[in-house]
Structure 1
Amino acid sequence: MSNTQPISRRMERGILILFAAAGLVLGLALALPGIRQAIGLATGESGISLLTDAAVPLGIGGGASLTAATFDTAWVVPTGLSASARSLLVLGALSGALTTLLTVGAVVLFLLLLMWRRPFHRAVIVATQVAGCALLLGSMLSSGLGGLGRMMAADELNPVAGDVFVVGFRFDPAWTLAGLAVLALSVVFSYGTRLQRDTEGLV
């Protein structure tokens, strides 16, 4: 009996270390594309996705045929963009990568605390708040800065591309809503922490 307790603690510590390392590797793997894109945009070697409404060439054949079709996005590798447009694109990519790192880090901390059987620890509240703010503000910054950069790039490239690019960008509100949901979850954990503190010693 006396020999099994240290082994179980050592195994638990090893599992937690492996879990934290796996979370770190996962966070870096998810953030690496954004970091590589930011470096590529800064050096002029990376491409960007621009909105377009260019028509798809139509053809009539013996089988299926197209009545009308347009492209909605175009992948371009621009050169000679203004410094402001390139800076906004780089900042947008870096904001997305930082958002990913903060979110994954907060989720890993949250899961570690659950494994430690501390679901209402104060660090859980901090983790959910960090993840919620990262998703809420980070997604807005990434979409906003990158979107402005794409608008400027489309405007600068239109004269040489026959005005095929739309000066605009898409915004996905799903990540913003996810951030609000995680922040609401932090309120629940905060309430649970206060309730646990108030009921200590009553049982």
Structure 2
Amino acid sequence: MSSSEPASWRTGALDLLLYTVAVAIGAVGWAAFRIARIAGATGPRVSVPATDIVSFGGEDATASGFVDVTVLAPATDALGRTWLILATLLVAVAIVVAMRSLMLIALAVRRGEVFSRRTTRALTTIGAALTATAFGWPVLDGLGRERALDSLGVPFEPLHVMDLIPLAPVFVAALAAAVLATAFAHGERLRRDTEGLV
């Protein structure tokens, strides 16, 4: 290993540290804005299937080129808003937890402790947070949207497996974190064995 590699690793770790802080702050800001909108007088925004003719302000308009439209649901009851707020909090908390774990990894790299129990635990935490979000968010959001659509008199269609496709990157990231956690655990054991031989 060349002498320049540790320095580049530490520089990259510092960049990752700053990035994670920015993302965590952004997630908290996004959650606060979304929760304020859900709890506000205008209610949550929900997507409804578009028909060939839609009505805006009492006037009909052709909408044959649209698959769905986003509308406000001010009559959504407290339970529906609660489900949507919980879905938002789940995503925000998962992002903050994942970013905190990445910060711990970055700090460990800056100390030169790449293969350590702390980094293995951090990767495991990232995988768990992403998995919980991928499975929990569609359920909580679906329960909230069902109540919102019911307040609009629009029938709710249960989640289809195709609706989970946008979450594929989250599942892939969770799997990658789990694989990396396993690899880092092996690396940690090898490091301890090597140190025991010295």
**Is TM > 0.5 for Structure 1 vs Structure 2?**
yes
The whole-number CA distance in structure 1 between the counterparts of 2:43 and 2:195 is 57
The whole-number CA distance in structure 2 between the counterparts of 1:44 and 1:107 is 38
Which residue number in structure 2 is paired with residue 42 of structure 1? 39
The match for 2:147 among 137, 145, 152 is 152
Shift of 1:101: 0.8
Which residue number in structure 2 is paired with residue 5 of structure 1? none
The match for 1:105 among 80, 100, 104 is 100
Structure with higher strand content:
2
**Matched residue type, 2:77:** S
Give the unaligned 5+ runs of structure 1. Answer: 1-11, 58-67
The whole-number CA distance in structure 2 between the counterparts of 1:153 and 1:33 is 21
Shift of 1:97: 0.9
CA gap of 1:56–1:47, structure 2 versus 1, over 3 A, is same
The match for 1:26 among 23, 26, 32 is 23
The whole-number CA distance in structure 1 between the counterparts of 2:158 and 2:21 is 35
Which residue number in structure 1 is paired with residue 59 of structure 2? none
In the TM superposition, 1:22-101 aligns within 5 A as 23-45=20-42, 47-55=44-52, 69-101=64-96
> SS of the residue aligned with 2:70?
strand
Pair 1:138-2:137 in alignment: no
The whole-number CA distance in structure 1 between the counterparts of 2:106 and 2:129 is 18
Identity %: 24
Shift of 1:24: 2.2
Shift of 1:47: 3.5
Contact 2:46 2:149 in 1 (8 A): no
Shift of 1:70: 4.3
Which residue number in structure 1 is paired with residue 157 of structure 2? 167
The whole-number CA distance in structure 2 between the counterparts of 1:21 and 1:46 is 35
CA gap of 1:168–1:90, structure 2 versus 1, over 3 A, is same
Which residue number in structure 2 is paired with residue 197 of structure 1? 192
Contact 2:16 2:106 in 1 (8 A): no
Cα root mean square deviation, aligned: 2.7
**Matched residue type, 2:46:** S
The whole-number CA distance in structure 2 between the counterparts of 1:126 and 1:150 is 35
Q: TM-score, normalised by structure 2?
A: 0.75
Larger radius of gyration: 1
Shift of 1:130: 1.1
The whole-number CA distance in structure 2 between the counterparts of 1:95 and 1:147 is 14
Shift of 1:73: 3.2
Shift of 1:21: 5.6
CA gap of 1:175–1:103, structure 2 versus 1, over 3 A, is same
Shift of 1:147: 1.9
Q: Spell out, residue by residue over 1:11-70, the C-alpha distance to the aligned partner (whole angstroms, 9 max, x if none).
A: x8xx96x9746532331113321232123212344542324142378xxxxxxxxxx944
The whole-number CA distance in structure 1 between the counterparts of 2:75 and 2:100 is 37
> SS of the residue aligned with 1:200?
helix
